[in-house]
Amino acid sequence: GKGLDKSYLVVKDITLDSDYTPIDNFSGKFIGKDEDNLIKITFNGTKNGLFKTIFASSDSSKKVEIKNIEFDGNIYPDASSVGSVAGKINYVGSTCECYISNCVNNANIGNFENGSVNYTDIGGFVGISNGMNKIFLSDLVNKGNIKGSENVGGIIGRNTGMPLNSGYIRNCANIGDISGNDSAGISGEGVGEISNSYNTGNIIGTKNVGGIRGYTNNANKSIIKNCFNAGNVSATTNPETAGGIL
């Protein structure tokens, strides 16, 4: 649709009601006007975050950028792949880039009143990065409680791709409680770099839970450095799969 690849400077707070339909295939820039006084977006029981899908173009001159936003309220997912910024980040080609920085999420994501729900890839900011090479997540703080069945993270639920020396997760923090299998304070499941980040929230699931990353399927493509965990980490069914970091 028209305007999906444009740049937007956001100057006023926004409230999104429960009937809000998230924007699909956004490929532009969405930037709050002030890096010190963040623009606030409040979710009043929406089903997903601001964007359903961020679509990163193979045109190297176009970089997707989201920054200077604070998210509040509650998100009640009715499907998998949910995050306050975007449910999914998709890409075309190896040159596309996506930057999400200087944002805070206070929103609770998950149906906490009605018990566990069977939705996967739930993150404080991004649900899933789908094979994206050059996704850069930095200076993000999650304070909301995040709940899903699998691949749940304070920053991102799952990132498939992000090879070393390409994309990264840097200078991020999770303070909220995280619940689900393959879950962690920063990245529920994935590969790539996580650095200079920490978790103080409680992490709980039946298996594969960690303070920083819950699970990786390729240790040779995963690095965690200069990170710490001060939260409680508990794997109730398989306690041997719980780790302070991974």
Residue-wise pLDDT for 70-118, tens only, equals 999 999 999 999 999 999 998 755 567 889 999 999 999 997 665 556 8
- d(C-alpha 143, C-alpha 154), whole Å: 8
For residue 167, what pLDDT is reported?
Answer: 82
The model's pTM is 0.94
What residues contact residue 219 under an 8 Å CB cut-off, 6+ apart?
none
For residue 60, what pLDDT is reported?
Answer: 57
For residue 246, what pLDDT is reported?
Answer: 79
For residue 217, what pLDDT is reported?
Answer: 80
Q: Which residues of the chain have pLDDT under 50?
A: none
For residue 132, what pLDDT is reported?
Answer: 58
Residue 146: name the closest of 172, 173, 171, 121 by CA.
121
For residue 62, what pLDDT is reported?
Answer: 72
For residue 130, what pLDDT is reported?
Answer: 78
For residue 23, what pLDDT is reported?
Answer: 94
Using DSSP's 3-state secondary structure scheme, residue 12 falls into: coil
